[in-house]
Structure 1
Amino acid sequence: MKRKMLLPIISGLLVVFFALAGCSSGNSSADAGGKNGKIELKLTHAVPEDHASHLALVAFKEKLAEKSNGKIDLKIFPNGQLYASDREAVEATQLGNVDMTMVATPTMASFEPAFMVFDLPFLFDNRDEAHKALDGELGKKLNELLPSQKLVGLGYGENGFRQYLNNVRPIHKPSDFKGLKFRVIENKLYQDAFDEMGANSSPLAFGETYSALQQNTFDGMDSPVSLVYAMKFYEVQKYLTIGDQTYAPLITVINKEKLDSMPEDLKEILLAEAQKMSVHQRELAYQQDTEQLKKLKEAGMEVNKLSDKDKKKFKSHLQPIYDKYSDQIGKDYLDAAIAAAKE
């Protein structure tokens, strides 16, 4: 009687065992290549669909599908659909809630202080100097910091140089900032730099900035031309000063565990195409900067430009920011940036 009772139990256990074994085998295959060998990658970013970054990512998506014969499916979530701030997007990528993001490098400084090197005002005179830094020793050194943050750097794009905007007066000299309420990105160095010039600065998430300017919570902000146009800040800001004060790179990052789980051939395609995408994004950003500055003037913004002499006065005035943050950034990173600028 006992033997008859045991047989169904043993049979049932065997069924469960083989079912679990089958599931385990199937999951291993899915982890390596996804369903039917396909991999879906989710990427989030904060800018609108007509911005250079999104346009470059759409072309990137198409190239990945083409080069992988449809095995890599990149899904892009623009305009802060998933996360309102760059910081939230980075944290979500670290956790694996999304696979990738493209963010401004000042956000990365809150995870790795060395990224603050790009936030130093008037560090680069032009884009060529900045590109040498991104593609050279500095970019390499910064990428080496990312795996400890559960991230891998895929390439550097740009928002271009940041410019000054406000509703009160044109900016010609540091003292023109005195008393202005200024919105800054969520980065302490930026806040200290504006406070050094006499502004009353506070950080605010990018997605909330337009309404805050509209409601006169702030008098001004700083931003690349492309974002002034894309986000229609010209509707709520009167004066634009072309100072090229801070070069604003972007970085595309992927969750390290996700990248490591990809088959080698697909990983190689992703890495190669991401580098090409970054260069393409820079080209589009420069093109948009040039075209959209004209459109901002046509929209009624009053535009003035700092001379080289003016810029030297600003940099001299902001030397305390270099002194305060050089140790936090790290000598190796600062030296690499300065070396690129002198080449």
Structure 2
Amino acid sequence: MNKIIKATTATLFGLALVSSSAMAATTLRFAHPAPQSDLQQTLAEKFKEEVESASNGELKVQIFPNGQLGNDSQMIDGTRSGIIDITLSGLNNFTGLVPEAAAFTLPFMFSDHQAAFNALDGEPGDRVMSELESAGLKGLAFPENGFREMTNNRGPIREPGDLQGLRMRVNNSIVLNNMFELLGANPQQIQVNELYTAMETGVVDAQDHPLGIVVSFNFDEVQKYLSMTNHAYAALLLAMNKNRFDSLTPEQQQIVQKAADDATAMQRQMNIDQAEQMISQLEADGMEVNRDVDTEAFQKAVQPVWQGFIDEYGEDLIDSIQTAAGQQQD
């Protein structure tokens, strides 16, 4: 009898081990380029907390901030291949996969944050998400970097002529490259994690980013002037490897999607709420901030950039964005 009991106990123990192994948590690797002080990390932590809690630990999220797994293009490629499960990057970095999405980055496309949210969360954003699937990505949400502002070491930027001759760091957005070139700057593409050194050593003397990036990357240490140009809206895209997403149970997919939506809503609001605080911090750290920008003059000057986009891609997505945003431009 004792032998039978021992054998039964051993069998049950073995089954328990197998069951435990089968129920082992699935770990999702989440990579983004920003420092841990940035709201992108805050979003990632919120996403992690909600996913792990709602799944009762069946899903785990491991966060890799600060470009630990590569630059933006490398992280996107890694997510497409499945080396990385989830990435958060600027929407402009996905335009190699969905070129038409550059419409969202056209200068002065959006009048305010809510207009951008309306378009990104509506049909135009859904169109981009759908097109990403053929590239092996499941789009989850559009968090924000915010409106791009200009910083430099020469003087305040108030009108288009103030950009003449500036060595301007630019990202890989074709429309913004075209804009700065049109306005007389000398654009140079540099990865964001190399930008501080490039400005410190004088390789470039100007750049444009939303406030959060200026603060979290400490650009105030190597830039003197901040001009509130609001010349372009910078959306982020939270994307997941599509095969990985499809491998989850329907319940787990719902958990991931809800966590992405909740974390995005939180991060967007925090970005808006902290804007004035970030400006004050930058001023306290020695930056000179000017808001007296001739927006109308800039809008008029950049019309050829819009026309160039229309000539290549047509007006369909632009019209869709403006309708969803609740605004129409002349």
Question: How does the TM-score come out when normalised to structure 2?
Answer: 0.90
- The yes-or-no answer on 1:81 pairing with 2:75 is no
Matches for 1:107-186 after TM superposition, within 5 Å: 107-186=93-172
Given that 2:156 and 2:290 are in contact with CA atoms closer than 8 Å, whether structure 1 keeps it comes out as yes
- What is the CA–CA distance in structure 1 between the aligned matches of 2:32 and 2:44, rounded to whole Å? 10
**Larger Rg: 1 or 2?**
1
Query: Which of 240, 244, 250 is residue 226 of structure 2 equivalent to?
Result: 240
Give CA-to-partner distance per residue, 1:277-317, whole Å, 9 cap, x none.
1111111222232211110011111111145xx11210110
| Secondary structure class of the residue paired with 1:179 | coil
- The yes-or-no answer on 1:301 pairing with 2:287 is yes
- What is the CA–CA distance in structure 2 between the aligned matches of 1:255 and 1:56, rounded to whole Å? 18
Matches for 1:225-264 after TM superposition, within 5 Å: 225-264=211-250
Query: Which of 317, 326, 329 is residue 342 of structure 1 equivalent to?
Result: 326
**Which residue type is aligned with residue 127 of structure 1?**
H
**Which residue type is aligned with residue 55 of structure 2?**
S
Q: CA RMSD in A?
A: 1.7
Unmatched 5+ residue regions in structure 1? 1-28
- What is the CA–CA distance in structure 2 between the aligned matches of 1:168 and 1:341, rounded to whole Å? 36
**Which residue type is aligned with residue 91 of structure 1?**
D
Q: How many residues align?
A: 310
| Secondary structure class of the residue paired with 1:148 | helix
Runs of 4+ in 1 over 6 A off after TM superposition: none
Tell me how far 1:330 sits from its aligned partner: 4.4
- The yes-or-no answer on 1:192 pairing with 2:178 is yes
User: Could you tell me the percent identity over the aligned residues?
Assistant: 32
Given that 2:152 and 2:207 are in contact with CA atoms closer than 8 Å, whether structure 1 keeps it comes out as yes
Query: Which of 56, 60, 75 is residue 69 of structure 1 equivalent to?
Result: 56
Tell me how far 1:59 sits from its aligned partner: 1.4
Structure 1 residues 281 and 104: CA distance shift in structure 2, 3 A: same
Aligned match of 2:35: 48
- What is the CA–CA distance in structure 2 between the aligned matches of 1:54 and 1:34, rounded to whole Å? 31
Structure 1 residues 34 and 281: CA distance shift in structure 2, 3 A: farther
**Which residue type is aligned with residue 155 of structure 1?**
A
Aligned match of 2:267: 281
Given that 2:117 and 2:325 are in contact with CA atoms closer than 8 Å, whether structure 1 keeps it comes out as no
Structure 1 residues 200 and 153: CA distance shift in structure 2, 3 A: same
Give CA-to-partner distance per residue, 1:204-242, whole Å, 9 cap, x none.
111100000000000100010111010000000001000
More displaced, 161-170 or 318-327? 318-327
Give CA-to-partner distance per residue, 1:307-331, whole Å, 9 cap, x none.
5xx1121011000100111244443
Tell me how far 1:177 sits from its aligned partner: 0.6
Tell me how far 1:121 sits from its aligned partner: 0.5
Tell me how far 1:192 sits from its aligned partner: 1.1
Question: How does the TM-score come out when normalised to structure 1?
Answer: 0.87
- What is the CA–CA distance in structure 2 between the aligned matches of 1:340 and 1:119, rounded to whole Å? 15
- The yes-or-no answer on 1:57 pairing with 2:15 is no
- What is the CA–CA distance in structure 1 between the aligned matches of 2:113 and 2:66, rounded to whole Å? 26
Aligned match of 2:11: none
Structure 1 residues 328 and 152: CA distance shift in structure 2, 3 A: farther
Aligned match of 2:299: 315
Given that 2:155 and 2:225 are in contact with CA atoms closer than 8 Å, whether structure 1 keeps it comes out as yes
- What is the CA–CA distance in structure 2 between the aligned matches of 1:306 and 1:204, rounded to whole Å? 28
Given that 2:30 and 2:44 are in contact with CA atoms closer than 8 Å, whether structure 1 keeps it comes out as no
